[in-house]
Amino acid sequence: METTIVKAYGTDAAEAPMQNIDIKRRGLLANDVEIDILYCGICHSDLHAVHNDWGGTTYPIVPGHEIVGKITKIGSEVTKFKVGDIAAIGCIVDSCGHCHQCNEGEEQFCEEGWTVVFNSPDKHLGGMTYGGFSERIVADANYVLKMPDFDDLAAAAPLLCAGITVYSPLKHWKVGPGKKVGIIGIGGLGHMAIKIAKAMGAEVTVFTTSEAKVADAKRLGADFAILSKDPAQMKTARGFDMILDTVSAKHDVNTYLQALNVDGSLVLVGLPNEPLEVGAFNVVNGRKSFSGSNIGGIAETQEMLEFCAKHQITADIELISVPEVNEAFTRLENGDVKYRFVIDLKTLN
């Protein structure tokens, strides 16, 4: 197969710094598009994967799954896009396309296994896929999103993972007017969850470990903010229909289960690498659920983009250049970001 060499930013080992590397992209297949990447967000999952927190990382790795850019070439059978369109790619770049889950639009649960944009077996080139910390990407148009108009395109990039990861469960658990929702953690996912749950019409309370974020939570639109380190404040938190847990490290979920209403759900989207313990009485008493959710399918991601464009919802970002990625990783590790780093790929040399 014809390939081209493109510039990227990745690493050869868990503890090695991110640096310039060259990677291969496939030549265009009939239903492929080529995208010049303009911006790519940095999700905590990129950091988990680079550090091999979950195991299974193959090096070299090029992360990045919040990609927006401009279409530069289209394959002979592509009708969905034209050259010059602004388009986007999230986590999913391929799936079987015919199993029950794919037919339901839930490619993230594809029964034959879906292809993640990075660190996933590459069906075409062999080896592993490489993500959005690069100048260009080639992907099947079926997995590429149309980007509606946003005033700030860089600030819209985080919708491709943080946005859909919170939109999908908020919708699935029927968040809306009259519902009381909790969000744990004000990071990339958490701050998007505040904005989206408010736009859906719910009453939103956030739980944060950071005193400095309490006031900011209200600026982001939350109705109430609770400092989770303060047991007295935690005791006042009761009666939630759903609590969305975006925390990236091991933490105690039992106090949150106690804060749920009868039949309420604590929904995990954060991916700590250690198991979380659930006290039996905290779910048995009140018929509560402890559940999880993983990104969202392609059609739902497109729906989320339209929803966010309509409500003018984007992320609060710090736009950085490529050489600043290592510092950004350290800051993300330390919870020091308001609230998403986005890389300007024009700075990749």
Binding mask 60-99 for ligand NAP (x = CB under 6 A): ----------------------------------------
Please tell me whether residue 185 binds ligand NAP under the rule CB under 6 A.
Answer: yes
Range 214-273, binding ligand NAP (CB under 6 A): 246-249, 251, 269-271
Q: Comparing C-alpha atoms, which of 58, 36, 60, 61 is closest to residue 46?
A: 61
Binding mask 265-304 for Zn ion (x = CB under 5 A): ----------------------------------------
112-145: b (≥16 Cβ within 10 Å) or e: eebbbbbbbebebbeebbbbbbbbbbbbbbbbbb
* 290-294 contacts at long range (C-beta below 8 A, 24 or more positions apart): 290/253, 290/257, 290/265, 290/266, 291/265, 291/266, 291/267, 292/267, 292/268, 293/165, 293/168, 293/169, 293/172, 293/267, 293/268, 293/269, 294/108, 294/109, 294/165, 294/269
CB of 64 to ligand NAP, least distance (A): 13
CB of 138 to ligand NAP, least distance (A): 24
Please tell me whether residue 43 binds Zn ion under the rule CB under 5 A.
Answer: yes
Contact 27, 4 (CB under 8 A): yes
- By a kind-dependent CB cut-off of 5 to 8 A, residue 186 interacts, out of ligand NAP, Zn ion, none, with ligand NAP
185-209: b (≥16 Cβ within 10 Å) or e: bbbbbbbbbbbbbbbbebbbbbbbe
Q: Which of 52, 101, 210, 321 binds ligand NAP (CB under 6 A)?
A: 210
* Residue closest to Zn ion (Cβ): 43
CB of 108 to ligand NAP, least distance (A): 8
Is 45 in a helix, a strand, or coil? helix
Please tell me whether residue 161 binds Zn ion under the rule CB under 5 A.
Answer: yes
CB of 246 to ligand NAP, least distance (A): 5
Binding site for Zn ion (CB under 5 A): 43, 45, 161
Positions that interact with ligand NAP (CB under 6 A): 43-45, 48, 161, 165, 185-190, 208-210, 213, 246-249, 251, 269-271, 294-295, 332, 335
